[in-house]
Amino acid sequence: MASYSTNEFRGGLKVLLDGDPCIILENEFVKPGKGQAFNRVKLRNLMSNRVWERTFKSGESLEAADVMEQDMEYLYTDGEFWHFMLTDGSFEQFAADAKAVGDCVKWLKEQDVYTVVLYNGAPLTVAPPNFVELEVVDTDPGMKGDTAQGGSKPATLSTGAVVSVPLFITIGEVLKVDTRSGEYVSRVKSS
Amino acid sequence: MKPDIPAWQPTATRETLKSRAQLLAYVRGFFAQRDVLEVETPVLGRHGVTDLNLEGIPAAVTAAGVQGGWLQTSPEYHMKRLLAAGSGSIFQVARVFRNGERGRRHNPEFSMLEWYRTGFDDAALMQEVADLVCGWLACPAPVTLSYRDAVRDLAGFDPMTITDLELSRYCERWLEPGQLADMERDACLDLVMSFVVEPELGRDRPVFITRYPSSQAALARTSDDQGFAVAHRFELYVGGLELCNGYWELTDPEEQRERFANDNRLRTAAGKPEMAIDAALLAALDRGLPECAGVALGLDRLLMLKTGAADIQDVIAFPIERA
């Protein structure tokens, strides 16, 4: 496997640190004019999602991590694994376990496309698009007159996610939701 | 870096470019008044430097039987040859090159103001540096702090007496024992200087750090200070930024030969290639370098301080990624 020396460090680089795949977030080069150079590096551990801060002497190197981001369509779950398929026409399928799917499970809708990070060829994490469109399957009945201002209530979506919505939303409507904040954005016109 | 600016465009604003032009005019005016001669020496030289921590950039030049050279890391050797040839006090605004150096305060190519004053010692040159820098930045006059006191005050240990083991332990807050195993004492001190001391230096007013341990003398002469060998070397810090590095210059060719040889021993030990020693410089020293003090000052950083830029790319039209 290839390795990267400190000279090649930059944001976005995927490396192995203490055996875990990490992505470099920030790389700060520090050097007194006549002295030893160091790189102060912030990395996100892709397994634990924790941010690490490490210092490297200039010239040290890290092994490259075989990490790839791929767009994949969500197919179905068998209860133990969630199955995805590459959208590149190859029909190649990958099975992600609960750890890889994580919180994304509440945004998974069949036939929608997700970003799957593969580590050594197996799904490591699954990320939803920034916005998803999901149907309301349960919420308290709407009240007349509550069209514009004030008030919200919980609504359960088809995937099981619960979001806070305005009082006028009713069962059966399709909503646009921001997956980063988990917030309701708007109603989607029914087609 | 600066992904929001299209790749063909400069990263410095027109205002900053104007400030750079004003700085160059200011520098030339400053030295004209003091009767210091402006010179130009090769950017592309026959030799690189032996310094353990400076990596030159080799150049594949071929002309008149000359094969290969180096982009210069500083104009020092050539300027010393001019001094030995009787130039008197000289200054130069030079482009210099250091491989691998890129960060918020570094670009592999940068502008260096380097000057030599015959008959000056380090104290006299520090005064002139203060005049130049404070005249440009309109800042209060610098205070002077010894390396030993600076480390003692800010890092809480005595850099002259701490044992190698204690120093290594101290550095374990940043580095793994495996990384520290082959690290020289001076590299550990550099770590402490960069991470702990430097960020605090020159916050309220500029500060000169002086009397470096003799192991960090480079081309400065050394003398005894309370039982410890120290270098007649100084650096100026403004707002946590290292601005210049100056020496009361070593003129003894024998000691210079020894330092070059020692540099190469350190390079070999660190797994770096040995560098050929510049015989022309040694010949000039043999002929006799006049008593002088010299200093190299980073003009890009001086511009950062003037314009309040946090990143060197804000003061350079085209940093290496778009060069």
Q: Encode pLDDT of B103-160 as tens digits.
A: 999 999 999 999 999 999 999 999 999 999 999 999 999 999 999 999 999 999 999 9
Q: Residue B136: name the closest of B317, B313, B15, B304 by CA.
A: B304
Q: Is A100 left (phi over 0), alpha (psi -120 to 50) or beta?
A: alpha
Residues A88 and A73 grouped into a single domain: yes
pLDDT at position B4 is 83
pLDDT at position B218 is 81
When CB atoms are compared, the residue of A34, A40, A56 closest to B51 is A34
For residue B183, the chain A residues in CB contact (below 8 A) are 36, 57
pLDDT at position A151 is 83
Residues A149 and A183 grouped into a single domain: yes
**Which chain B residue shows the shortest CA-CA distance from A34?**
B53
Residue range B14-140+277-322 in CATH 3.30.930.10: yes
**Which chain B residue shows the shortest CA-CA distance from A27?**
B103
Residues A113 and A138 grouped into a single domain: no
The A residues from 33 to 92 touching B (CB cutoff 8 Å) are 33-38, 40, 55-58, 60
For residue B50, the chain A residues in CB contact (below 8 A) are none
Indicate whether B45 pLDDT > 70.
yes
Residues A76 and A123 grouped into a single domain: yes
Domain residue extents for chain B: 14-140+277-322
Average pLDDT, chain B: 95
Model ipTM? 0.88
Return the exposure string of A78-87: e unless at least 16 CB atoms fall within 10 Å of the residue's CB, then b.
eeebbbbbee
Residues A135 and A184 grouped into a single domain: yes
Residue numbers of the domain that contains A20: 3-63
Domain boundary among A63, A84, A104: A63
Q: How many CB atoms lie within 10 A of CB B262?
A: 13
Q: How many CB atoms lie within 10 A of CB A120?
A: 10
Tens-level pLDDT at each residue, chain A (191 residues): 699 999 999 999 999 999 999 999 999 999 988 899 999 999 999 988 899 999 999 989 999 999 999 999 999 999 999 999 999 989 999 999 999 999 999 999 999 999 999 999 999 999 999 999 999 999 988 665 555 567 889 999 999 999 999 998 999 999 999 999 999 999 997 65
Contact status of A17 with chain B (Cβ, < 8 Å)? no
Q: What is the CATH number of the domain that holds A154?
A: 2.40.50.140
Residues A121 and A158 grouped into a single domain: no
Q: How confident is the model at residue B1 (pLDDT cuts 50, 70, 90)?
A: low
pLDDT at position B44 is 97
Per-residue pLDDT reduced to its tens digit, B202-224: 999 999 999 999 999 888 999 99
pLDDT at position B2 is 72
- Residues A17 and A31: their CA atoms lie apart, in Å, by 23
Residues A12 and A58 grouped into a single domain: yes
- Helix and strand counts by DSSP (H, E) for chain A: 1, 16
| Residue B237 structure tokens | 């810090």
Q: How confident is the model at residue B179 (pLDDT cuts 50, 70, 90)?
A: very high
For residue B53, the chain A residues in CB contact (below 8 A) are 31, 34-37
The answer, as to whether pTM is greater than 0.80, is: yes
Q: From the CA of A58, how many Å to the nearest CA of chain B?
A: 9
**Which chain B residue shows the shortest CA-CA distance from A53?**
B174
Contact status of B122 with chain A (Cβ, < 8 Å)? no
pLDDT at position A48 is 86
pLDDT at position B83 is 98
Residues A59 and A91 grouped into a single domain: no
Radius of gyration (C-alpha) of chain B in whole angstroms: 20
Q: How many CB atoms lie within 10 A of CB A30?
A: 23
Residues A72 and A110 grouped into a single domain: yes
Interchain CB distance below 8 Å, B53 and A31:
yes
Contact status of A168 with chain B (Cβ, < 8 Å)? no
Count: domains in chain A: 3
